[in-house]
């Protein structure tokens, strides 16, 4: 398989992630978009690992790390979202502005 195929797929996934983070208001969806970006990176790592035939499997190993950390991150992120929902009955990020300074 040509290297361009996974790379383009990764770029598309990453762009989709950026769009999700910037455009979505729902905290759960933003988390999912972040996951998309992470997995786009994972795809690239695996693709280059296979392409370069790395003896130490660096690409694959790093991907395992990223997956683990992403799982942990989602755990923390969802906990925050859950707390947000319990307090405010809403997960709209645009309305979670308590820590912002007063508008001048």
Partner 1 sequence: MSSAAWLLPAIPFAAALLGALPACRTRPRAAAIALTGATTTALVALLLLPSALDDPTRVRLDRLLIAPAGALQVLAGTRFDSLAAVVAVMVGVVALAVQVYSVGYLHDDLRYPSYAAQVSLFTSAMLLVVVASDLLELLVGWEVMGLCSYLLIGHYRELDYARRAAVKAFLVTRIGDVGMLLGVAVLGTAAGTTDIGELLAAVPRLPHGALVAGSLLLLLGVAGKSAQFPLHVWLPDAMAGPTPISALIHAATMVAAGVYLVARLHPLFLASTVTLDVLALMAAVTMLLGALAAFAQDDLKRLLAWSTTSQLAYMLGALAAGGYDAGLLHLMVHASAKALLFLAAGLVLHAVHTGALSQMRGVARRMPVAALALIVGGLTLAGLPPFAGAWSKDSVLAAMKSAAGGSGPGPDQFEGVLLYLAGLATVLITAAYVARLLLILLAPPAPRGDLHEPRLSMAQSVTALTVTCGVSTFLALPDALPSWLPAPAGAREGIELSVGGVTLTAIGVLAVFAALWLYSHAGARDPVLLLGSSQRRLRSGFGVDALYDRGAVRPTRSVAAAVAETDASAINHAVEGIGRSAVRTSSSLRVVGAGRVRSYLAALIAGVLLVVVSVAVVV
Instruction: Name the residues that contact partner 1, by CB under 8 A.
Output: 18, 21-22, 93, 97, 99-101, 103-104
CB under 8 Å to 50, separation ≥6 — which residues?
59
**Shortest reach from residue 58's CB to partner 1, in Å:** 23
Q: Output 89 or 98, the one with its CB closest to partner 1.
A: 98
**Shortest reach from residue 94's CB to partner 1, in Å:** 8
Q: How far is CA 103 from CA 38, 97, 99, 100, in A?
A: 34, 11, 12, 8
**Shortest reach from residue 61's CB to partner 1, in Å:** 26
**Shortest reach from residue 25's CB to partner 1, in Å:** 9
Please, are residues 38 and 75 in contact by the beta-carbon 8 Å criterion?
no
Q: Output 76 or 103, the one with its CB closest to partner 1.
A: 103
Phi-psi region for residue 53, left (φ > 0), alpha (ψ -120 to 50) or beta? left
Q: Output 60 or 73, the one with its CB closest to partner 1.
A: 73
Hey, what are 66's tokens?
Answer: 């990223």
Q: Output 24 or 57, the one with its CB closest to partner 1.
A: 24
Neighbours of 42 (CB within 10 A): 21
């Amino acid at each position: 398989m040509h290297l361009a195929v996974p790379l383009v797929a990764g770029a598309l996934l990453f762009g989709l992630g950026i769009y999700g983070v910037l455009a979505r208001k729902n905290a759960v969806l933003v988390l999912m978009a972040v996951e998309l970006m992470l997995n786009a990176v994972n795809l690239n790592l695996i693709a280059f690992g296979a392409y370069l035939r790395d003896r130490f499997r660096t690409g694959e190993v790093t991907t395992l790390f990223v997956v683990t950390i992403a799982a942990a991150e989602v755990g923390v992120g969802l906990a925050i979202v859950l707390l947000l929902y319990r307090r405010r009955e809403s997960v709209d990020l645009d309305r979670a502005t308590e820590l912002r300074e007063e508008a001048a």
